[in-house]
Amino acid sequence: MSARYGMVIDLDRCTGCGACMMACAAENNVPPVPRATPRTGLTPMLVRKVSNGGEGVDRREVFIPIMCMHCERETPCVGVCPQQAVEVDKATGIVMQMPQRCLGCRYCMTACPYHARYFNWWDPQWPAGMEKALNPGVAVRMRGVVEKCNLCHARLHSATQKAAATGKREINPADYVPACVEACPTAAIRFGNLADKHDPLSLEVRSPDTFRFLTRLGTEPKVYYKSKEAWVRALAESNSGSGVETKRG
């Protein structure tokens, strides 16, 4: 049975601690490039701070973790890639990026409406000896390729191997949890299989408080957001920029 892995990020629970960013980068062997700037850095998971523009007691803030939305229909990055380095995995619904095929043209970065793709400008380097502290499950990507969130695909691979070792075809859902979901101290990021009607996530995405960004583009992203605050839900169709206080903006 095919899966459709997705997420619901409850913005009312996000405290903006950044644990998801840190866990994501550590899990995926993102190098700490000191030369990188907010525009050239590599942050597959990026938490943005957005305010409602009010002052004093009227001020409201929300922290929005932004990552690849894993668009399901007319996936913009897939269509523009001349190398077939991006594809939607039919078995999981994950938008996969294959760095070995990528030639670094960055069309996909231009096409992505969520700005969730990053170009690897430099050779990945760590202090001498630190390769011993890298995650052996994730290959280090080379300079000159585009990177993005792949829902910790290495963990899915491990879960599949574990299931296969016991003669099963289906993985145990508890064995496949992306690093950001595992790290979130308030359980604001929830993960599951949208194709499974018994999965709590399938019910949660139908909640009236749940929304997705830029749905008018018709790309059917599988990352949902949730908030009870109307001004936060109104951000869903904004083009970006308004009120965003991060440096990347």
Partner 1 sequence: MKVTRRDLLVWSAGATAGLLFTPVPWKLLDDVSIWSQNWPWIPQPTRGPVDVKLSFCTLCPNGCGMRVRMAGGWPVGVAGAGCHPVSRGALCPLGFAAHQLNWHPRRLSRVCYRGNTSSWGEARVAFTKACGEGPIMIIDGHPGRAASSAFETFVQRRGSYRVVPGQETRALAPYGTWSGIPAAALGYDLENAGTIVSFGAPLLDGWGTPGRLTRLWAERAAGLADPQLHLIQVEPSFSRTAARAWQYVTIRAGGEGAVAEGVARVLLEEHLVPARGPMPSLTLVEVAEQAGVSTDAIRDLARTIVARPPVVAVADDNNPAIAALNVVLGAVGARGGIVRRSKHIRQDVCAEAAIRGMRAVLIDSTVPWDFVPQTDAEVFRFAAWDGGSTKADWLLPAPGFLEDLTDVPTAPTSGMETYAVAPSLAEAPTEVQSAAQFLSSIDPTLVTVDKVIHTRCSEIFRQRMGTLWGQDVTPVAKFVSVQKLEEELWKGAVWIGEPHHAGGLRCQLNDWPEAIGPARTSNASPPWLVPVLPSLASKLYQESGLRESPEGRSA
| Residues 85 to 144 in contact with partner 1, rule: CB under 8 A | 100, 103, 123-140, 142-144
Q: Which stretch binds partner 1 (CB under 8 A): 56-64, 90-98, 109-117, 216-224?
A: 56-64
Closer CB to partner 1, 3 or 181, in the complex: 181
Q: Which of 4, 7, 9, 27 binds partner 1 (CB under 8 A)?
A: 27
Residue 10 as a binder of partner 1 (CB under 8 A): the answer is yes
Q: Does 204 bind partner 1 (CB under 8 A)?
A: no
| Continuous segment of H or E residues that includes residue 157 | helix 153-165
Give me the least distance between CB of 193 and partner 1, in Å please. 22
Amino acid at 248: R
**Residue of the chain from 7, 8, 9, 25 that contacts partner 1 (CB under 8 A):** 25
State how far the Cα of 238 lies from the Cα of 195, in Å rounded to an integer. 28
Residue matched to tokens 């695909």: 153
1 CB burial (10 A radius; 0-12, 13-18, 19+): exposed
Q: Is residue 241 near partner 1 by the rule CB under 8 A? A: no
Burial of 165 by CB count in 10 Å (0-12 exposed, 13-18 middle, 19+ buried)? exposed
CA dihedral of residues 22, 161, 202, 217 (deg, nearest 10): 70
Residue choice 48, 148, 190, 222 for contact with partner 1 (CB under 8 A): 48
Type and span of the H or E element at 158: helix 153-165
Q: Confirm or reject binding of residue 23 to partner 1 (CB under 8 A).
A: yes
Residue range at the interface with partner 1 (CB under 8 A); choices 29-37, 69-77, 88-96, 106-114: 29-37
Question: Which stretch, 53-61, 73-81, 195-203, 216-224, contacts partner 1 (CB under 8 A)?
Answer: 53-61
Beta bridge partners of 193: 5
